[in-house]
Amino acid sequence: LILAWSLQSVCDRLGTSSFLIHHVSFTATLLPLAIFLLAAVVGFSTGTSWGTMGILVPLTIDYAVGLGMEASMAQAEVRRLLVSSVGAVLAGAVFGDHCSPISDTTIMSSMASGADHVDHVRTQMPYALTVAALASLVGYLPAGFGLSPWLSLALGTTICLLIIRFVGRPVTG
């Protein structure tokens, strides 16, 4: 965390947020999905969700608000974009950390359960990827287009239950 805070301080002094707003063009509709994917990659690569959040949350806040102001969005739309983008950082960071073989929580989980570390990572991946794909397609992509989060939540829950019902297998002895 200390290194993440240090890196964030460097990013602030360099004006990284301002640079990204003016030189990296994203439409507001794709921003939550892009941030989720970026946070997932950073979380997986670093093995830390907290470090990923520490780096990306301030950048995301500045970028989402700056993008909304540049696009002359209404205040309610900027708020919606901001909330979905920060949520995407949190979820992507946790997803990346959960799937990362170098994450402290993944290492502790495999050690505590007595499982081979690589086997543990391999068995967790299908579950995490299923939920990440579902969150991307039913959550962050529709959020970028302004779809109600309640509708996305209901649709995501229904799809999860259908996956469990038709893809899931009973546990044997």
Predicted confidence band at 10 (pLDDT cuts at 50, 70, 90)? Answer: confident
Radius of gyration of the chain, Cα coordinates, nearest whole angstrom: 18
For the chain, which residues make up each domain, given as ranges? Answer: 2-166
Which range has the worst mean pLDDT, 5-9, 85-89, 161-165?
5-9
Q: Does the pLDDT of residue 4 top 70, yes or no?
A: no
Which amino acid is it at 42? V
Euclidean distance between CA atoms 59 and 61, whole angstroms? 6
pLDDT in tens, 109-136: 888 988 888 888 888 899 999 999 999 9
Sign of the C-alpha dihedral, residues 92, 94, 99, 101?
positive
- For the chain, give the percent of residues with pLDDT over 70: 90
